[in-house]
Amino acid sequence: MSTYTPKNILITGAAGFIASHVANRLVRTYPDYKIVVLDKLDYCSNLKNLNPSRSSPNFKFVKGDIGSADLVNYLLITENIDTIMHFAAQTHVDNSFGNSFEFTKNNIYGTHVLLEACKVTRQIRRFIHVSTDEVYGETEEDAVVGNHEASQLLPTNPYSATKAGAEMLVMAYGRSYGLPVITTRGNNVYGTNQFPEKLIPKFILLAMRGEPLPIHGDGSNVRSYLYCEDVAEAFEVVLHKGEVGHVYNIGTKKERRVIDVARDVCKLFNRDPEASIKFVENRPFNDQRYFLDDEKLKGLGWAERTTWEEGLKKTMEWYTSNPEWWGDVSGALLPHPRMLMMPGGTERVVDVPENVQSDSPHAAVNPSQFRKVVSAPKSNGSANKPSFKFLIYGKTGWIGGLLGQICEKQGIQYEYGKGRMEDRAQIVADIQKIKPTHVFNAAGVTGRPNVDWCESHRAETIRTNVAGTLTLADVCRESGILMINFATGCIFEYDDAHPEGSGIGFKEEDTPNFTGSFYSKTKAMVEELLKEFDNVCTLRVRMPISSDLNNPRNFVTKISRYDKVVNIPNSMTILDELLPISIEMAKRNLKGIWNFTNPGVVSHNEVLELYKEYINPEFKWKNFTLEEQARVIVAPRSNNELDTSKLKKEFPELLSIKESLIKYVFAPNKKV
């Protein structure tokens, strides 16, 4: 079996549901591939779906329409595109009954523009066209063998008809012009980030709101469902192993009636199905069953991995953690949400990644321009407001100041708190005046110039680190606001279960074992108490480092000025990479305790070796032991490794500590 290796991939519609999972997977797995994303940011697209890729050097987002021939030709040439994965389409069947011309324009004309650009530029080595199982039409109820790739196409609704029409164009360009085309036809896909006009996210959001779950007709219609990550893997396999000129079904033989899906969702939310399910008017035509033969794709090595129960639970957990991901979706939750397709609309503000290009083929957006206004559907005649407003405590602190700078770059509204955190009335006044969506606590006493100060200023340390933090958390709880709390990982020290150099780190649920300094005692104390608050996200920071090597609080700056240093591997936090992630964690409404460091450990000597390599080749230093260090400090210091697997799972693009040090700290400051 031959294997294809692309270089520069254009993915259309990748701010949408399925394509965003594919794009993020390819960006993460294949750093040598350049991934260019083209999306016009329609109502069912969201740039937040691409957050895992936004900081990656091999990723670029372009806002634009596949119907623009000038733009498509320009991109293929200037980005040297050799591979296209064409996902962009209008896909919701309900909408196609109410606004079918929009489906013809996007699904057929848009595909035709892409194909013509490929013909003209003559540089495309793979064109993967993403179609649907609905082009086969309805499968007989008693059929035991699913539709195979050579089955006749018999679409039954305007959506599937436009997808079948697009397939015919793809096939024609393959035969007439030798375009290396591959077509996929997939079952229903579900999972995280899906716009809630589709069945499963709609049911989940309605269940979260305590509202009825509407079922078209009697609910006996049968569908097959694949989890989004399994589908992303399928496209990865097709990209590398698919044969030109072939069609591949992406499916599963595990079928479910719509009414059974509703019952499973009710079960997850402990709701009575009989009281929760509401039968509504059926579609003009509703295929009873789609059934695919998926053996051909399995022959390439792909297999479904996620069980229905596991996938549904993951999806439910994501939507309950991210209820505001799509903003106001009340129109999408209607039984027949056709009005979402009407043209025109108001404006909404979206966060745009650094590597964003406009839809003009002549001018790229300035990388510092993090906000971009795009069209969005009307919602009851009023414009949607910007989604977030942050209240930040710790204006004069290092992290608090950097948070404000990030908000400025990303175009997020923010204000600094004026009240003293231990004064409840002042905190309440701040929140009532500013009306934030989230509160960031970056205030705290770490000592002047270091934690030794806390040993002789215990009352002041308690007042801020304990009383102030708990007061702020409680006021936020009463106001229904999530608080992002910057804590410390200096509450652990290497022990027999977590020996130095073993790679076994302390996990979020582990009990702190370091009480050497009063500072660490207060931080461990307040972390334990904050577990009683369900509105707090605690981020354990360690030995923070930034690209500002003139900042005396920077760990690199500190040790480069010491006469002697110990040499012990530790977990550390690269603020340039992790503080933007803290903003994203707020947007995702993540809660609980998180080890907020880069994966892995780095020793003092390794940091200084990099300093010598990149900054000052004449730099020299000496080491001393912990015993020798103890003679010149008041309080012992914490040394440990934190397990970051939880954070890495949520943000797969997170770099290891050594990679991050080079990328964000030393390379930008290189003087050698």
Angle at 255 between CA 278 and CA 300, to 5 degrees: 145
Number of Cβ within 10 Å of residue 65's Cβ equals 19
In angstroms, the CA 15 to CA 389 distance is 23
First and final C-alpha spacing in the chain: 48
For β-strands 222-227 and 188-190, DSSP reports them as parallel
Handedness of CA 492, 497, 499, 503 (dihedral sign): negative
Q: Which helix (H) or strand (E) holds 227?
A: strand 222-227
- Tell me whether residue 159 is one of the annotated catalytic residues: yes
Crossing angle between the packed helical segments 308-321 and 199-209, to the nearest 10 degrees: 50
Give CA torsion, residues 403, 405, 411, 414, to 10 deg.
50
Residues forming beta bridges with residue 37, ordered by sequence position: 11, 61
87 is written with which tokens?
């996902």
Residues 6 or more apart whose CB falls under 8 angstroms from that of 632 comprise none
Q: How far apart are CA 23 and CA 85, in angstroms?
A: 10
Pick the catalytic residue from 43, 159, 611, 614. Answer: 159
DSSP 386-401: PS-EEEEE-TTSHHHH
User: How far, in Å, CA of 170 to CA of 641, rounded?
Assistant: 53
Among candidates 427, 635, 446, which has minimal Cα distance to 522? 446
Residue whose pair of structure tokens reads 């959001």 in the numeric block: 205
Indicate which residue of 94, 134, 264, 304 is catalytic. Answer: 134
Length of the chain (residues): 672
Cα separation values, 199 from 186, 225, 273, 334, Å:
16, 11, 16, 11
Residue 231 CA to residue 234 CA, distance in Å, equals 5
Q: Could you tell me the two tokens for 472? A: 């702020």
Check if 613 is active-site: no
Distance CA 103, CA 111 (A): 11
Contact 669, 614 (CB under 8 A): yes
Q: Is the peptide bond before 449 cis (omega within 30 degrees of 0)?
A: yes
Pairwise CA distance, residues 403 & 582, whole Å: 9
Which one from 39, 133, 197, 233 is the annotated catalytic residue? 133
Half-sphere exposure of 399 (CA within 13 A, CB side): 31
The Cα–Cα gap between 47 and 37 comes to 11
Question: Token pair for residue 183?
Answer: 């077509």
Whole-Å CA distances, 524 to 456, 458, 466, 505, 638: 19, 15, 10, 17, 12
Instruction: Assess whether 133 carries a catalytic annotation.
Output: yes
Amino acid at 318: W
Which residue is listed with tokens 């009240």? 419
Q: State the catalytic residues.
A: 133-134, 159
